[in-house]
Amino acid sequence: MIRIDEIYENTIWPWLQKHHLGVRLWWCEPFGHTDPDSLVNYGGDELTDNNYILLWDQEPIDLSIHQPTFESVITHNKDLQARCDRRNRQNKIAVDAGYQKPLITDRKIGAIITSEKNSEYVQQVCDQFSWRHYYYFFHGWAALDWYRGYNRTFLIKPWPQRNINKTFLAPNRIVAGHRLHRLQMLYWIFKLDMNNNHISCPQMCPAENISILDAVQPLKSMYPDIESVFAQQTLPMNFANETGHPMQSCWLDLFDQSAESLLYLVTETVATGHRHHLTEKTFKPIALGMPFIIVGTQGSLRYLRSYGFKTFGDLWDESYDDEPDDSLRIEKIAQVLKLLDGLEEHRQDIFESAHEIIEHNWNHFYGGGFEAILWQELQDMLHEFEL
């Protein structure tokens, strides 16, 4: 298994050094940062690296935020190109004088690697900067790394032994800014009176540092009553023994709540636009042995199934996954949840009917099947490089 904090240094960079000498590798550090000052790179010392690859596999692309970082990569490589030109002239003089020094190529090729597939936003960036695009599922590797070993603990209650008394588990932390789809989902949960489930919701968004009532303002034209719906809630909503909505993406938690819930409501990082971008959040219910519904972009379930996982269309309506309208897709998810929430006497039976799929997904995640697919995909991507 690849350690996600070493995938650049121990996997991608060694491949470039062996097969594409003269290519510089850029990414942002620490994890999750996207500003120009966080850019770091690997490059050769003897040859001035002319071609370059930007690893943008941790975060979704948003040109309104990331334009300065992309432009900074371009600027740095123009500076490198100027040095390359000077080195070429020096090399030519040396060769003319009888010294065998290698000339450096004048090719200037830029590329971007994302964990975002079939994306209109990636295409926009590539068109603007004349970059080639390559893809691999970075967040799949992240989930395998971060959730490793939980199948060898006693924290996760075996699914045949669970007593299901809630319909869903819905953690929410960052809900403002570019995560308004989470407020939309919470709006429908509260409006349809599904507060009796395991739900968390902050009073102040920890990332944007604004109150929920301020955060919902951009949604008032779509949902005129959204402010009053949230004003009626007692916030913050915290899980038992939890305060402050801590950042917990890189490990599993909520074991007691998971053992009581029919399904895990995954509110993904991205749920708008034409693209596929799933993160480690999608794999939490799989590693916890739970069914799930994904609040993501159109086709998220289909995208996940392409990696060998199964979903739950035989147990409830998953046609929401095909809905092209982002807001309507969330409303359709809410209707599925409301229907299931009304089947209180049948929740245990529905969960037991999901055991076979839960078992398949658990074994695929922890048994090596998913990793084999990711490894083949990563190798195929590396062999596709044209630099």
What is the CA angle 353-354-358, rounded to 5? 150
Between helix 369-384 and helix 355-366 the angle, nearest 10°, is: 50
Supply the pLDDT for residue 68: 96
Assign a CATH topology to domain 141-371: Rossmann fold (3.40.50)
Helix or strand holding residue 42 (H, E):
strand 39-42
List the structure tokens of 113.
């690697």
Candidate from 40-44, 141-145, 274-278, 300-304 with smallest mean pLDDT: 40-44
What is the overall mean pLDDT for the chain? 91
Alpha carbons within 13 A on the beta-carbon side of 165 = 4
CA-nearest of 240, 237, 227 to 204 is 237
For the full predicted model, state whether its pTM sits above 0.85.
yes
Residues 15-48 have pLDDT tens digits of 998 998 778 899 999 988 999 999 999 886 555 5
Q: Is the pLDDT of residue 139 over 60?
A: yes
Given pLDDT bands bounded at 50, 70 and 90, which one contains residue 386? confident
Residues 240-261 have pLDDT tens digits of 877 776 667 788 999 999 999 9
Given pLDDT bands bounded at 50, 70 and 90, which one contains residue 86? low
Taking residues 257-272, what's their average pLDDT? 97
CA-nearest of 16, 54, 6, 12 to 34 is 54
According to CATH, where is 3.40.50 located in the chain?
141-371
Residues 162-185 have pLDDT tens digits of 999 999 999 999 998 889 999 999
